[in-house]
Amino acid sequence: MIEINNISKAFNGKAVLKEISAQFQKGETNLIIGGSGTGKSVLLKCMIGLVKPDQGNVLYNGRDFYNCDKETQQSIRREMGVLFQGGALFDSKTVEENVRFPLDMLTSQSTEEKQERVAFCLQRVGLEQAAKRMPSEISGGMKKRVGIARAIVMNPAYLFCDEPNSGLDPLTSVKIDELIKEITDEYQITTIIITHDMNSVMEIGQNIMFLYQGDKLWEGVNSEITKTTVPELKEFLFSNKLLREMQG
């Protein structure tokens, strides 16, 4: 379980996050939604240690990420898998090398063990045929899947996905969502997804948090979200003409 308490962050005096608190349960896909510039990515970066919050704390199964010794922080980091928005694959390495990279750097496994694990992860995301290809030779959807394979190669307890559907066609988006959901269920990972894709919200959003101008305005499950009375959330949800017409 991940718990965030009173997370606040400001850049150049402008508050981006205002005392955000939430709990993200194990084995659930937790979605953080909101429009562009509402602080979703900053919140994610605060959670994974790329941006230090001005106040508040982030607890990983009770371990305070920002108030613990370096060894504990390092062990928490090793339990994290992160899928970045663009995949963040290393350009100079093949797909296979990208996935193997955390094993090479952080473990003392034998070459055979690493090969086996990499093959399993690539097979899990359906990319065993692309192992020898370079990131520049694969599509955006494949890059995301390689990113997922790299994120799960270390058997993470926490999976963070920053806009996994951005730049993808609707069909590929659904496939990526399904893959993340399957992996979350299969390995009982605490998954946190930053998105503004309404399809993801309705399909895989077990626990949803809505951010608006740095404030948490709503939290709940996907079956309740369309019944919301929060005007900002309603505006966000029904910004699409088709959805407005369906809402009647």
- Among the listed ranges 46-54, 114-122, 124-132, 191-199, the one in contact with other proteins (CB under 8 A) is 46-54
Binding to other proteins by residue 48, rule CB under 8 A? yes
Smallest distance from other proteins to CB 97, Å = 12
- Among the listed ranges 9-17, 48-56, 166-174, 192-200, the one in contact with other proteins (CB under 8 A) is 48-56
DSSP state of 137: G
β-pairing, 2-11 vs 158-162, is unpaired
Coil vs helix vs strand at 23 = strand
- Among the listed ranges 30-38, 60-68, 71-79, 233-241, the one in contact with other proteins (CB under 8 A) is 71-79
Cβ proximity to other proteins, 117 vs 216, nearer residue: 117
DSSP annotation string for 139-183 = -HHHHHHHHHHHHHTT--SEEEEESTTTT--HHHHHHHHHHHHHH
Binding to other proteins by residue 80, rule CB under 8 A? yes
With CA atoms as reference, report the closest residue to 20 among 49, 53, 50, 51. Answer: 53
* Residue ranges in 93-122 that form contacts with other proteins under rule CB under 8 A: 102, 104-106
Binding residue for other proteins, selected from 1, 15, 88, 174, defined by CB under 8 A = 88
With CA atoms as reference, report the closest residue to 173 among 150, 206, 195. Answer: 195
Binding to other proteins by residue 89, rule CB under 8 A? yes
Binding to other proteins by residue 86, rule CB under 8 A? yes
**Per-residue tokens: 59:** 């607890």
With CA atoms as reference, report the closest residue to 192 among 19, 16, 47, 9. Answer: 47
Smallest distance from other proteins to CB 150, Å = 8
Residues in contact with other proteins by the rule CB under 8 A: 48-50, 70, 73-74, 77-78, 80, 82, 84-86, 88-91, 102, 104-106
